[in-house]
Amino acid sequence: MNAAHTFQIALSGLVSNKMRSTLTVLGVVIGVAAVIALLSIGRGTQAAITSRINSLGTNLLFVTPGATSQGGVRTTAGSASTLTMEDAQALLQAPDVAAVAPQVQAAAQVVAGRQNTRTQVLGVTPEYEFVRNYPIDQGSFITAAQVTSHAKVVVLGSTVAQTLFGLTDPIGQLVKVNGLQYKVIGVLQSKGGTGFGSQDDQMLAPITTVQDRLTAQRTTTGAHSVQTINVQVTTSQATNAAIQEITQILEVRHKITTTDDFTITSQQDTIAALNQSTGVFVIFLGAIAGISLLVGGIGIMNIMLVSVTERTREIGIRKSIGAKRGDIMLQFLMESALLSLTGGGIGILFGWGISRIISGINFGGQTITALISPDILILAVSVSAGIGIIFGLYPAYRAARLNPIDALRRE
């Protein structure tokens, strides 16, 4: 008996029980759709995080203070106050450093008229605009003269500008930051955000102004400290060389032989660490969705066992007229494979549709991003086909092992 004839028999067996076959297919549809939807959300989250980090700038290194020790207990990294504006300027001596942009930050209550919000205030220098890729949408960025004069001016993130001023032009308006008046000189272009925070919900001021009025962190010598020195490397290939150069400069300036009082992190290190974390998240989502497919596979096995029991006499007749064990086994394997592949095909369409609907929805202040890649579709179909074959093996084996004489005696 050829495969084409066996396929026709398998198809007619499924069609003869339309409702039962439809319900079994539905279980696979739900499983495949869940796998595609959840994995696409996970992949979209990964891509969004990587995009946000890349939007911070290119070829970046982040120099941060080390940790302090209190009573023999080491605190978290960044808790020390060891970096200064002079350290940042000294790093420009490194051959592979293109630019530096030191920064400090503090939380503040910002009020404009009857509107107010609590946001993060970054103290920056003019270089911050291009080192960290913060283009201006309206007005102007902070200038060197404003840093030198400790000017009370601010550049608002788009979210802060919208919250405080709505449709009103904020340029030239006055805002109160922790009770002191500042003049709005610019608004940043919107950059969006992820679960790690929005880059639009912040405002920028001259670093000297923030050091004087919003933060009191100082080094052991009494100088104003900075919390991060953003370093732009000449090329991505020069990253390792730049790290060595920066390390040598700071060790000489701080008169140390170890790097305990500062840490250097590259942009690629940050992306790799986040991708590793989100990769675990994607696998977890896939595992949850895989449970749905497993349940669908159990449904296929259950229906096929019922089918074998109901069609015992049919199997006996086929064997008595010459059908071999392999023919019977192939027939029932084809039936289970047809159920799973049909469910997989429909599940792909549903999963794709769900992903398209979910993508772009704002949830908890963050936009959900779904990214469907070919490997997700291939994985879903392969797993659904595999489940159909694996969970159809035992029913097919039972059908093939039936004794034709005993089968013909069944009523």
| Cα gap 346→310, rounded to integer Å | 28
Q: Do residues 238 and 353 share a domain?
A: no
Q: Are residues 174 and 230 located together in one domain of the fold? A: yes
Instruction: Check whether residue 286 and residue 387 sit in a common domain.
Output: yes
Quick one: the chain helix, strand, coil %, rounded to 5?
55, 20, 25
Q: Is residue 368 assigned to a domain?
A: yes
d(CA 332, CA 340): 13
* 134 within some domain: yes
For helices 18-54 and 374-400, give the axis angle rounded to 10 degrees: 150
Q: Which of these three, 230, 260, 290, is where a domain ends? A: 260
Cα-based distances in Å from 39 to 33, 128, 317: 10, 36, 47
E strand or H helix at 5, and its extent? helix 3-15
Residue 26: the pLDDT is: 86
Instruction: For residue 275, give Cα distances in angstroms to 45, 51, 57, 240, 265.
Output: 10, 12, 18, 21, 15
Last residue of a domain, one of 260, 289, 311: 260
Residue 42 lies in a domain: yes
Shared-domain flag, residues 121 and 222: yes
Are 31 and 99 members of one domain? no
Same domain as 153, residue 284: no
Question: Looking at the structure, do residues 252 and 358 belong to the same domain, yes or no?
Answer: no
**Are 171 and 314 members of one domain?**
no
Instruction: Enter the DSSP assignment of 149.
Output: T
Residue 63 resides in a domain: no
pLDDT tens digits along 105-152: 999 999 998 899 999 999 999 999 999 888 999 999 999 999 999 999
| pLDDT reported for residue 59 | 83
Residue 287, token pair as written in the block = 């595992």
Mean pLDDT, consecutive 10-residue stretches, the chain (411 aa), reads 62 71 83 84 78 70 73 48 87 92 92 91 94 91 94 94 92 92 94 63 93 78 82 87 91 76 79 72 76 81 77 71 74 80 86 83 68 80 80 77 62 51
Whether residue 73 is contained in a domain is answered as: no
Model pLDDT, residue 74: 45
Same-domain check for residues 93 and 227: yes
- Range(s) of the domain holding residue 229: 81-260
Q: Is 67 part of a structural domain of the chain? A: no
Yes or no: say if 33 and 110 are a contact pair by the CB < 8 Å rule.
no
Is 38 a member of any domain? yes
358 and 237 share a domain? no
Please state the domain count of the chain.
2
Is 58 inside a domain boundary? no
Residue 377, C-beta contacts closer than 8 angstroms, at least 6 positions apart: 36, 348
Question: Per the confidence metrics, is the pTM higher than 0.85?
Answer: no
Residue at which a domain ends, from 226, 260, 294: 260
**Same domain, residue pair 256 and 129:** yes
Are 155 and 248 found together in one domain?
yes
